[in-house]
Chain A
Amino acid sequence: MTMKALLAAMAVVALASPAIAAEKVKIGFISTFSGPQGVLGRELMDGFSLALKNLGGKLGGAEVTVIQGDDQGKPDIGVQLAEKMVERDKVDVVTGINFSNVLLAVAKPVLDSKTFLLSINAGPSQLAGKDCNPYYFNVAHQNDNVPEAMGQFLTAKGVKTVYLLAPNYPAGKDMLGGFKRFFHGRVVGEVYTQFNQPDYAAELAQIRQAKPDAVFFFYPGGMGINFLKQYAQSGLKGQVPLYGPSFSLDQTILPAVGDAAVGTFSTAFWSETANNKANKKFVTDFEAAYGRIPSPYAATAYDGAYLLDAAIKAAGSTKNKDALRKALETVKFDSVRGKFSFNTNHNPIQDYHLYEVTKDSAGRLINSYRSEVFTEHKDAYSTTCTM
């Protein structure tokens, strides 16, 4: 008797469910969850998950399944994961990738299968220019852009000589390339260090020798922590001012560095202090959920989920790929960066600002707004993109 009642109840529930519930979205989320840079994957996943939670576990009204994969920061593992997700799991969108070298490797199998590839962090120049693709979208930034803003700022400030440092991998090259595009002073040193190099004593001695007016460094994650700590200990802090893209001075780094970072300037398209309604909600919700201040990784991941939500809603489904692509290109969503739109190469047009590391009322290090650098800035590669 009870069994029958139960079955009947189940049938009623099944029939009563609206047709839209049958629609499902599968997201393949590949990121670095382990190793020294594992914190980046966590930031991206937490930002994405928070947005999903706010959206009731749905994107554009469709139930979401997220399939998670750990690329360990290695391109070959990223490719294996991507192939499995595309061929076996038949995901609609691949996203989450934080390292440009992983993204470049993953792009081919994903895009060849006409699966959407949405970058929520890495922005290699190749995919913005000659290798651009109708199925590739970057909701975060093109690697060159944030350093371009710093190059612009330091030129305007009248800085004559600068020393550049970055890890030896695609994003490192893009970042310093972007800086040099807008910096019109003299580059007295340009050093590419081994990826995940722990000790920078030799490089710091070289900087002291070169006596530049400024140092610009791109070291994300643990590399940034190492560099900032050692820079302060070497006594160079206070002698040569330090400038970086936000990725060298974000919330994955600042809590582990302490006062060594105070007074350092960065450029960014977003900061935890960005003053708009969507961002205030995001930062408050994020702190409530995870007990820490979000990083730009979490912010762009959060935006990525809202972008997908708005685009799937507009297209009605993920199955009509042309409609979804058109929706992604034009759809409006509440970005935590305020203004946001896509350029013709599916990379962002957005504003870039200058920030300074200061302390908030609770004594935590934060990036405080100082000035506007670029308004509605585009990357330099869109002209070489034909699709």
Chain B
Amino acid sequence: MGIFLFAEQVLNGLQLGTMLFLMASGLTLVFGIMNLVNLAHGSFYMMGAYFAATLFKLTGSLVLAAAGAFVGVLVLGMALEIAILHSFYRRDHLDQVLATFGMILFFNELVRMVWGPQAYFLALPEALNGSVELIPGAPYPIYRLIIIVAGLTVALGLYLLISRSRIGMLIRAGASNRTMIEALGVNIRVLFTVVFGLGAALAGLAGTMAGPLLAVQVGMGDSVLITTLVVIVIGGIGSVRGAFLASLLVGLSDTFGRMLLPASLAEMTIYILMAVILYRRPQGLFPAHG
């Protein structure tokens, strides 16, 4: 393997990793703070892609489409939390799995009814369609670079939000001891709704960014959800820092696994990685609960 091919594959791994991080950060927060297993997280990803594709078709502006999709999924997530999911916080994980699995079916069917089973077309503007020769002899698609940069920017923003802001402090406190911050008089209901909405919107953003690369179609969130679950388990449930490292780790090992291993083994790379890490650290890399 040449050094240039290696560098290109590192970029590919980073790009997959940053996409996964957008999904995983929201899921891990919701799991860590509200103790809620939310399988419908993949549906937010799908809704983000569909909102963005539709808005892009209507307005012709990718920025407007991305912003609209972000707000749309934020509102959708908060509405869902207020209407249904908040009553599931104190219930069994199995109940939560059943309820949110039902939502996957609901959203898939909804999308099929509104947009049809045929994949939806989302084109890239010409300016983003080209590639740049960062690595000699291997032009890299501009759009994938944008995904990496956007993903890293969101990661930085999330880091600042969680470690430097007041709401971040509450989120961290909520993750490590929910009862205590309730006792201190924090309005935990509102905090939960905001965190849930934010997590959903980040998943929506991931879907938006995936739109021009992938088929925008029914069930597109289902497969990414499984990989995301692997990421948050490796990272340690509730830990955004863990999710970040685990996303990059999973992104890179999946990319190199596909490159170096035979097909059937390559499919297992990330699960083997998960098994090895859990064997050494049963709580994941950075468990949020001391």
A residues within 8 Å of B by Cβ? 33-36, 38-39, 42, 168, 191-194, 196, 198-199, 201-203, 205-206, 208-209, 222-223, 225-226, 229-230, 232-235, 252-253, 255-258, 292
B212 within 8 A of A: yes
A225 with B215, Cβ < 8 A, contacts A193-B263, A233-B143 known: yes
Q: Measured between C-beta atoms, what is the minimum distance from A78 to chain B in Å?
A: 18
- From B124, B213, B267, A199 is in contact (CB under 8 Å) with B213
Task: Indicate if the CB atoms of A255 and B218 lie closer than 8 Å.
Answer: no
Task: Indicate if the CB atoms of A168 and B264 lie closer than 8 Å.
Answer: yes
- From A193, A194, A202, A223, B12 is in contact (CB under 8 Å) with A202
Which positions 213-266 of chain B face chain A at CB distance < 8 Å? Answer: 213-220, 222-224, 255-256, 258-259, 263-264, 266
B9 within 8 A of A: yes
Task: Indicate if the CB atoms of A205 and B12 lie closer than 8 Å.
Answer: yes
Q: List 6 A-B contacts (CB under 8 A).
A: A34-B218, A36-B218, A202-B256, A232-B129, A234-B139, A256-B217
User: Which residues from chain A contact B124 at a C-beta distance below 8 Å?
Assistant: 233
Residue of B nearest to A195 (CB): B267
Q: Measured between C-beta atoms, what is the minimum distance from A98 to chain B in Å?
A: 13
Q: Measured between C-beta atoms, what is the minimum distance from B12 to chain A in Å?
A: 4
- A225, B118: Cα distance in complex, Å: 11
- A255, B215: Cα distance in complex, Å: 11
Q: Measured between C-beta atoms, what is the minimum distance from A194 to chain B in Å?
A: 5
| Chain B interface residue number, banded | 35 or more
A258 with B215, Cβ < 8 A, contacts A198-B223, A205-B138, A233-B141 known: no
A201 with B118, Cβ < 8 A, contacts A168-B263, A208-B138, A222-B215 known: no
User: Which residues from chain B contact A252 at a C-beta distance below 8 Å?
Assistant: 118-119
Task: Indicate if the CB atoms of B263 and A39 lie closer than 8 Å.
Answer: no
User: Which residues from chain A contact B212 at a C-beta distance below 8 Å?
Assistant: 229
User: Which residues from chain B contact A230 at a C-beta distance below 8 Å?
Assistant: 141, 213
B38 within 8 A of A: no
- From B5, B112, B130, A205 is in contact (CB under 8 Å) with B5
Q: Measured between C-beta atoms, what is the minimum distance from B214 to chain A in Å?
A: 5
B160 within 8 A of A: no
- A75, B139: Cα distance in complex, Å: 41
Q: Measured between C-beta atoms, what is the minimum distance from B268 to chain A in Å?
A: 10
Task: Indicate if the CB atoms of B224 and A198 lie closer than 8 Å.
Answer: yes
Task: Indicate if the CB atoms of B112 and A38 lie closer than 8 Å.
Answer: yes
B71 within 8 A of A: no
Given contacts A38-B112, A229-B213, 13 further A-B contacts (CB under 8 A): A168-B263, A196-B223, A201-B15, A201-B255, A205-B259, A208-B8, A225-B214, A225-B215, A226-B215, A230-B213, A234-B139, A252-B119, A253-B119
Which positions 112-152 of chain B face chain A at CB distance < 8 Å? Answer: 112, 117-121, 123-124, 129-131, 138-139, 141, 143-144
Residue of A nearest to B121 (CB): A256
User: Which residues from chain A contact B120 at a C-beta distance below 8 Å?
Assistant: 256
Residue of A nearest to B109 (CB): A34
B residues within 8 Å of A by Cβ? 2, 5, 8-9, 12-13, 15-16, 108, 112, 117-121, 123-124, 129-131, 138-139, 141, 143-144, 210, 212-220, 222-224, 255-256, 258-259, 263-264, 266-267
- A168, B118: Cα distance in complex, Å: 23
User: Which residues from chain B contact A255 at a C-beta distance below 8 Å?
Assistant: 118-119, 121
Q: Measured between C-beta atoms, what is the minimum distance from A365 to chain B in Å?
A: 11
Task: Indicate if the CB atoms of A35 and B266 lie closer than 8 Å.
Answer: no
Task: Indicate if the CB atoms of B214 and A199 lie closer than 8 Å.
Answer: yes
Task: Indicate if the CB atoms of A235 and B119 lie closer than 8 Å.
Answer: no
- A22, B137: Cα distance in complex, Å: 71
Residue of A nearest to B1 (CB): A209
- A39, B119: Cα distance in complex, Å: 8
Q: Measured between C-beta atoms, what is the minimum distance from A295 to chain B in Å?
A: 10
User: Which residues from chain B contact A223 at a C-beta distance below 8 Å?
Assistant: 215
Task: Indicate if the CB atoms of B258 and A39 lie closer than 8 Å.
Answer: no
User: Which residues from chain A contact B256 at a C-beta distance below 8 Å?
Assistant: 202
- A343, B28: Cα distance in complex, Å: 57
Residue of A nearest to B15 (CB): A201
Residue of A nearest to B255 (CB): A202
Q: Measured between C-beta atoms, what is the minimum distance from B48 to chain A in Å?
A: 15
Q: Measured between C-beta atoms, what is the minimum distance from A222 to chain B in Å?
A: 4
- A253, B118: Cα distance in complex, Å: 8
- A83, B99: Cα distance in complex, Å: 30
User: Which residues from chain B contact A258 at a C-beta distance below 8 Å?
Assistant: 121, 123
User: Which residues from chain A contact B129 at a C-beta distance below 8 Å?
Assistant: 232-233
Task: Indicate if the CB atoms of B141 and A229 lie closer than 8 Å.
Answer: no
Task: Indicate if the CB atoms of B2 and A209 lie closer than 8 Å.
Answer: yes
Task: Indicate if the CB atoms of A206 and B267 lie closer than 8 Å.
Answer: no
User: Which residues from chain A contact B143 at a C-beta distance below 8 Å?
Assistant: 233
Task: Indicate if the CB atoms of B141 and A202 lie closer than 8 Å.
Answer: no
A202 with B9, Cβ < 8 A, contacts A39-B117, A226-B213, A233-B213 known: yes
Residue of B nearest to A225 (CB): B215
Task: Indicate if the CB atoms of A203 and B217 lie closer than 8 Å.
Answer: no
- A33, B117: Cα distance in complex, Å: 9
Q: Measured between C-beta atoms, what is the minimum distance from A236 to chain B in Å?
A: 9
- From A34, A192, A235, B219 is in contact (CB under 8 Å) with A34
